[in-house]
């Protein structure tokens, strides 16, 4: 297991499985080759950060830096409410080569799911009630979590919803309960709502503030973005109107507090745009102005409380939203190796880098990025061949 086990008391128990300890080898890469008109981006890498309304933040990054996937280990970092310091919080006893997905479940509670690696076909889940200081085993997600940063989400009364690698949407009524199938990607795509938008792939799951299950994905028709809500076994399109008709993909979607936020990419090539959409506990969706992204890709998408969000873009660029109704603030000259952004305690955005065994947090001060913290992580090279 990756290092600092002493700081992570209460290692996950045998319920996470002896098979998990044997799991290694990672997830496959992604990316498609473009021609004259690049295809629309329909997903983002798994590195991300999430935050709860209580102020605790979590970041998920890939560390190790080896050319071999099985020598890279995903790590979960936590920053307690009121603190400026990150600490390693990856649950012990789980091979994390396949990836980690985190979901905030309360002011100081979080769930972490591990994507399958090597011969493991399911995803172990661990839960913490002290911001990742100690962990308990939860019920595993069969089929394994999808390789999307919003493949796991929490709702009211301890409910969880998960998107698996085979397109199954599963729900858990409470901690330790068995997962049950809510729907499949094929079923949603075949529904009237799925046919209306031309659903091609699911990319995210969430609950509304009231607890209604939601899924999101990519659509090849121009009528509406692929955001669906479930009621009584039926799915309906519930997303905002697009600023202009175009194929679209929801790159990120999460509910923090009473606000559901979605990051939607529309169009392809020179017409590609990013739009943030927000919906409160009641009322219609509202949308941000469009952000042109014709020359690059979204390398990380993070959604934070009160409708805030941070995106890492290709070309050492970033874009940040301070909250519901805000305009995009573009940042340039990111530190080399920036993998995701995180909300800084005083309202700005931190850039997080992960190279080899070093995790660093950077803040923008007088136009210059400066390191404010470095955490060294023990990487067990050669432990999972």
Residue 6: predicted pLDDT: 39
pLDDT above 50 for 140 = yes
pLDDT above 60 for 322 = yes
**326 within 8 A of 307, measured Cβ to Cβ:** yes
Residue 4: predicted pLDDT: 39
**369 within 8 A of 380, measured Cβ to Cβ:** no
Question: Measured in whole angstroms, how far is the alpha carbon of residue 111 from the centre of its chain?
Answer: 12
Mean pLDDT of 86-105: 93
pLDDT above 70 for 39 = no
Residue 38: predicted pLDDT: 54
Instruction: Look up residue 152 and give its two tokens.
Output: 């796991």
pLDDT above 90 for 292 = yes
What's the whole-model pTM score? 0.88
For residues 379 and 151, give the distance between their C-alpha atoms in angstroms, rounded to a whole number: 25
From 211, 200, 196, 203, select the one nearest 159 (Cα to Cα): 211
Phi, psi of 194 (to 5 degrees): -65, -40
Instruction: Look up residue 365 and give its two tokens.
Output: 């001060």
Phi, psi of 164 (to 5 degrees): -100, 170
- pLDDT tens-digit readout, 243-268: 788 899 999 999 998 999 999 999 98
pLDDT above 50 for 231 = yes
**100 within 8 A of 151, measured Cβ to Cβ:** no
Residue 117: predicted pLDDT: 84
pLDDT above 80 for 68 = no
Tell me if residue 169 falls in helix, strand or coil: strand
pLDDT above 70 for 275 = yes
Mean pLDDT of 43-50: 96
Residue 294: predicted pLDDT: 82
Tell me if residue 186 falls in helix, strand or coil: helix
Cα angle at 101 between 96 and 105, to 5 degrees? 130
> Which residue shows structure tokens 């102005």?
289
Instruction: Report the DSSP pairing between strands 48-51 and 57-63.
Output: antiparallel
pLDDT band for position 113 (cuts 50, 70, 90): very high
Other Cβ atoms within 10 Å of 202 Cβ, number: 28
Phi, psi of 168 (to 5 degrees): -85, 135
Mean pLDDT of 25-29: 36
For residues 373 and 182, give the distance between their C-alpha atoms in angstroms, rounded to a whole number: 42
Least confident of 52-66, 217-231, 305-319: 52-66
Instruction: Look up residue 195 and give its two tokens.
Output: 């046919």
Cα–Cα distances (Å) from 239 to 67, 103, 136, 220, 249, in that order, read 40, 22, 36, 15, 12
Q: How far apart are the first and last CA of the chain?
A: 14
- pLDDT tens-digit readout, 327-352: 999 999 999 999 999 998 777 899 99
**289 within 8 A of 274, measured Cβ to Cβ:** no
> Which residues are paired to 73 by β-bridges?
63
Which comes out higher in pLDDT, residue 306 or 176? 306
Tell me if residue 102 falls in helix, strand or coil: strand
Which comes out higher in pLDDT, residue 29 or 294? 294
């Amino acid at each position: 297991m990756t290092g600092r086990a002493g700081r992570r008391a209460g290692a996950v128990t045998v319920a996470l499985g002896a098979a998990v300890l044997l799991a290694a080898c990672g997830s496959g890469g992604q990316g498609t080759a473009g021609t004259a008109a690049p295809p629309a981006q329909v997903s983002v890498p798994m590195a991300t950060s999430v935050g709860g309304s209580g102020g605790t933040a979590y970041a998920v990054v890939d560390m190790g830096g080896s050319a071999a996937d099985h020598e890279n280990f995903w790590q979960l970092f936590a920053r307690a409410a009121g603190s400026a310091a990150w600490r390693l919080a990856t649950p012990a006893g789980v091979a994390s080569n396949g990836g980690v997905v985190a979901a905030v479940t309360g002011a100081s509670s979080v769930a972490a799911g591990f994507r399958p690696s090597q011969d493991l076909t399911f995803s172990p889940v661990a839960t913490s009630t002290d911001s990742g200081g100690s962990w308990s085993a939860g019920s595993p997600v069969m089929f394994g979590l999808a390789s999307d940063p919003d493949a796991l989400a929490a709702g009211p009364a301890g409910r969880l919803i998960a998107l698996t690698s085979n397109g199954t949407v599963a729900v858990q009524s409470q901690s330790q309960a068995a997962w049950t199938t809510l729907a499949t990607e094929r079923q949603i795509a075949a529904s009237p709502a799925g046919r209306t938008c031309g659903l091609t792939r699911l990319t995210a799951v969430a609950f509304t503030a009231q607890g209604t299950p939601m899924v999101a994905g990519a659509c090849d028709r121009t009528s509406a973005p692929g955001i669906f809500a479930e009621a009584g076994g039926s799915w309906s399109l519930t997303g905002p109107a697009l600023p202009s008709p175009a194929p679209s993909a929801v790159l990120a979607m999460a509910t923090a507090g009473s606000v559901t936020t979605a990051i939607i990419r529309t169009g392809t090539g020179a017409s590609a745009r990013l739009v943030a959409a927000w919906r409160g506990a009641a009322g219609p969706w509202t949308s941000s102005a469009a952000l042109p992204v014709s020359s690059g890709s979204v390398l990380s998408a993070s959604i934070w409380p009160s409708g805030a969000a941070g995106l890492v873009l290709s070309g050492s660029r970033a874009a940040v939203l301070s909250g519901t109704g805000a305009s995009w603030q573009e940042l340039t000259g990111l530190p080399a190796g920036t993998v995701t952004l995180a909300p800084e305690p005083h309202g700005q955005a931190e850039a997080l880098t992960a190279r080899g065994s070093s995790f660093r947090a950077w803040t923008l001060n007088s136009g210059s990025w400066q390191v404010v913290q470095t955490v060294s992580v023990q990487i067990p090279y050669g432990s999972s061949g």
